[in-house]
Chain A
């Protein structure tokens, strides 16, 4: 059961806190001690503080807080960061007995809200304490916190961990298409040693990592000194992953951490979400430039664009050829290749259930869904080149 913490400055740690406050506000005085107590001792000692940025999330905040209450390892402190809320979000949070932190004059969206809350609370935490930042519309699996803590405590080079996420179970073909996409993505994540993004759905950082990021902003990292999340980023989770990695921290999605997240109900909402993701990704990468850390991200983006162009070109070639002489002939080995591709599409969505597999078997819906990528890929590239701003496109602020 989350405690209600009314006093964020426990007197026992006052001295330490004052020091950290200065660091968090951009005055680095001393570095964290490199050596600490052994992992077992740390495990017992460290606390978990949860921050939930919420902008008019009355519809989903209850379920989110409930998923925290059902954790096998309960967080020490839950803070709902109410950012320009005009609905009952704060009241619901209070009813659930958690701390409500209300932002003041925030114009920097989610990143700004989290920065205000972290500036307030981070100084109270020890460097080994853990901070969980999660979306107000996500529900964590019951042993999410326990699994994340286990990972962070057994590997000192780990700076942040997140979970894979699946779509909430709601009806509709578009929703099922997104669930299929998430299922495939979650299947692929553990196959790589590196993680592309510590998802905003739920990510746990060491407090010292966040402090280090705050300290390095404006010098080694893009942004303004003292801010944790890059206030100009519209995909603050992708940006902070690059920040943590650039500082030499490892980021993973350990087993046991899965989350359920909101799914876009309409094509328009999906387009806006994906456009925001893609533009934010490109902007963040531009901010970091080509480095030892980011070159794989750059390569991945180039691959995405080339793959899309290649696919479109193939359809043009096939279409043009069919128009010229309308007979389709495929040698047996091409049929085998197509069969392999088809089988993979169906097999890899097993976890999406029968409906997911049926949808994959129909081919066309997923093909159209894949072609849809082109819209936001090109639009994001266009706005990146022309420097035009892309709207926020978060479901909570557009449709709710």
Chain B
């Protein structure tokens, strides 16, 4: 089935809920409007005879097309990300990993995400947004994401505020209003708070804040949201990929009841980097204290590592039955840690990505 048909079916049938109904009705009106605009031969003339079986044939054709679309959409497994989030690792083996993306300026316009989607030939099921403190919920961004069948993934960064003041409840008004907006949005949302706390580069991270304080702040934030009735939030606890010599991650762990997904941020900076060297240790360590599903919540392979690493990245995600990966699609030009991660800037990387991210149809069919 051509990709555009898949996309069209997705556009209608993926968003779900009541808006799906509105879209189907609107499409019905549009199709009948086109039908009425197409000129046809006058049939109200003496001697006109309907060709026998023609109506039946047309009806049969219509039904067959509807059945084909329904089969394609519902019966054949689709690699859309939110589905893989809901069902655990069972489908991971055969379907392609979930795909997410971060694009600069995506809260203003969906164009960059659309550009990424058409470049890689797949609609991202997750779109990542960074939110400072105390920035409000980006309703437009969320609506755009929903309209395109993607789940908003917001990294809330407690900049300019201490975790202790959050624990003390000084930010509760902000958190409650944010939670109310998220609740009002009404569709699944991934929220993360204080990402990469195991690194030393943020005020809420290692060396600036004690792990017990971080854990208390995390639990406080989650509690405020739950109390506000924002049940549509999946809490993603984000660590930076680590190595064996670093302090244990478990110290920062808020507990299974406070986390729905574990996120790992990690990049292929150098030629020698592999999935094992970037994520291997971290995954092993996390699996030591939780079975919570893991998402590569921020990743990219830079020009230095080369496009050949993309296949390795996807292979690693599949091998470890991870939920998927979120590509950090931004061009940075500031040393080894801030390379040009943008896929669209490298035809070779793009080709490798398309190949690696592709759905393995033949394996699904065999199942």
Q: Spell out A's residues near B (CB within 8 Å).
A: 150-152, 154-155, 158, 187-195, 252-255, 310-311, 313-314, 317-318, 320-321, 324-325, 327-331, 333-334, 337-338, 340-341, 343-345, 347-348
Q: Does B58 contact A (CB under 8 A)?
A: no
**Complex CA distance for A320 and B186, rounded to whole angstroms:** 12
B44, A154: Cβ atoms under 8 Å?
no
Q: Is the Cβ of B46 less than 8 Å from the Cβ of A150?
A: yes
A341 — which chain B residues lie within 8 A by C-beta? Answer: 26, 29-30, 33
B147: chain A residues within 8 A (beta carbon): 329-331, 334
CB 8 Å contact bits of B38-58 with A (1 = contact, 0 = none): 001011111110100000000
Query: Could you say which residues of chain B place their CB within 8 Å of the CB of A158?
Result: 46
6 A-B pairs besides A254-B44, A254-B45, A325-B143 with CB distance below 8 A are: A194-B50, A317-B19, A325-B184, A334-B26, A337-B26, A344-B37
Contact call B140/A329, Cβ cutoff below 8 A: yes
| Contact residue among B26, B139, B185 (Cβ-Cβ distance under 8 Å from A314) | B26
Shortest Cβ gap from A346 to chain B (Å)? 11
Interface status of B21 (Cβ within 8 A of chain A): yes
| CB closest residue in chain B, given A191 | B40
8 Å CB contact of B36 from A154, A311, A325, A344:
A344
Given A314-B25, A329-B147, A252 and B48 touching (CB < 8 A)?
Answer: yes
Q: How many angstroms from the CA of A253 to the CA of B186 in the assembled complex?
A: 52
Residues in A whose Cβ lies below 8 Å from that of B143:
325, 327-329
A253 to B29, CA, bound (A): 26
User: Cβ of B37 and Cβ of A195 under 8 Å apart?
Assistant: no
For residue B342, CB closer than 8 A to chain A, the reply is no
**CA of A352 to CA of B209 in the docked complex: distance in angstroms?**
74
Contact A252 B45 (CB under 8 A): yes
In the complex, 24 of the A-B residue pairs with CB atoms within 8 angstroms, ordered by the A residue number, are A188-B36, A191-B36, A194-B50, A252-B44, A252-B48, A313-B21, A314-B22, A317-B21, A325-B143, A325-B181, A329-B140, A331-B147, A333-B11, A334-B23, A334-B26, A334-B147, A337-B29, A337-B30, A338-B26, A338-B30, A341-B26, A343-B33, A348-B36, A348-B37
| Contact indicator B50/A331 (Cβ below 8 Å) | no
CA of A360 to CA of B140, assembled, Å: 31
Residues of B within 8 A of A (CB): 11, 18-19, 21-23, 25-30, 33-34, 36-37, 40, 42-48, 50, 110, 139-140, 143-144, 147-148, 181, 184-186
Cβ-neighbour of A340 out of B34, B50, B144, B184 (below 8 A): B34
Question: How far, in angstroms, from A320 to B185 measured CA to CA in the complex?
Answer: 12
- A155:B181 contact, CB within 8 angstroms: no
Contact A255 B30 (CB under 8 A): no
B144 near A255: Cβ-Cβ < 8 Å: no
B46→A331 contact, CB < 8 A? no
The chain A residue sitting closest to B39, CB to CB, is: A191
Q: Is the CB of B44 within 8 A of A347?
A: no
Task: Find chain B residues with CB under 8 A from A334 CB.
Answer: 23, 26, 147
Q: Which residues of A contact B29 (CB under 8 A)?
A: 337, 341
**Contact status A314-B21, CB under 8 Å:** yes
User: With A325-B185, A347-B37 as given contacts, are A155 and B47 in contact (CB-CB < 8 Å)?
Assistant: yes
Instruction: Quote the shortest CB–CB distance from B102 to chain A (angstroms).
Output: 20
Nearest A residue (CB) for B186: A324
A151 contacts B21, CB within 8 Å? no
Chain B positions within 8 Å of A345 at CB level: 33
Residues of chain A lying within 8 A (CB to CB) of residue B45: 151, 252, 254-255
Q: B residues within 8 A CB of A324? A: 184-186
A interface majority secondary structure: helix
What are the residues of chain B within 8 A of A311 when measuring CB–CB? 25
Contacts of A310 in B (CB 8 A): 21, 25, 28
Q: Which of chain B's residues has its CB closest to A184's CB?
A: B36
Residues in B whose Cβ lies below 8 Å from that of A348: 36-37
Nearest-Cβ distance from residue A345 to partner chain B, whole angstroms: 8
Inter-subunit contact A192/B44 (CB<8 Å): yes
Chain B hits for A313, CB < 8 A: 21, 25
Given contacts A193-B48, A340-B34, A344-B33, contact A255 B42 (CB under 8 A): yes
Q: Which residue of A lies closest to B137 (CB)?
A: A325
Closest chain A CB from B326 CB (angstroms): 22
List, in ascending order, chain A residues with CB within 8 A of B50's CB: 193-194
Partner of B44, one of A190, A317, A333: A190
- A327 to B136 Cα, complex, angstroms: 14
Assembled-state Cα–Cα distance A291/B296 (Å): 62
Complex CA distance for A254 and B42, rounded to whole angstroms: 9
Chain B contacts of A329 at CB under 8 A?
Answer: 140, 143-144, 147
Question: In the docked arrangement, what's the CA distance between A324 and B22, Å?
Answer: 16
Closest to B40 in A: A191
* Bound complex: CA A152 to CA B140 (Å): 62
- Contacting residues, chain B, for A252 (C-beta < 8 A): 44-46, 48
Question: Which residues of chain B are near A188, meaning CB under 8 Å?
Answer: 36
Contacts of A189 in B (CB 8 A): 44
Give, as a whole number of angstroms, the nearest-CB distance from A46 to chain B: 15
Residue of B nearest to A192 (CB): B43
**What is the CA–CA distance of A79 and B19 in the complex, to the nearest angstrom?**
58
- For A344, what are the chain B residues with a Cβ–Cβ distance below 8 Å? 33-34, 36-37
| Bound Cα distance A255, B37 (Å) | 20
For B11, what are the chain A residues with a Cβ–Cβ distance below 8 Å? 331, 333
Residues of A within 8 A of B34 (CB): 340, 344
Contacts of B33 in A (CB 8 A): 340-341, 343-345
* A155 proximity list for chain B (CB < 8 A): 46-47
CA of A317 to CA of B20 in the docked complex: distance in angstroms? 10
User: B18 CB to closest chain A CB, in angstroms?
Assistant: 4
Q: Kindly report which residue of chain B lies nearest to residue A164, judged by CB atoms.
A: B44
Nearest Cβ in chain B — how far from A341, in angstroms? 5
Q: How far is the CA of A234 from the CA of B184 in the complex (A)?
A: 51
**Contact between B42 and A317, CB atoms less than 8 A apart:** no
> A317 and B48: CB pair below 8 A?
no
8 Å CB contact of A190 from B19, B43, B46, B139: B43
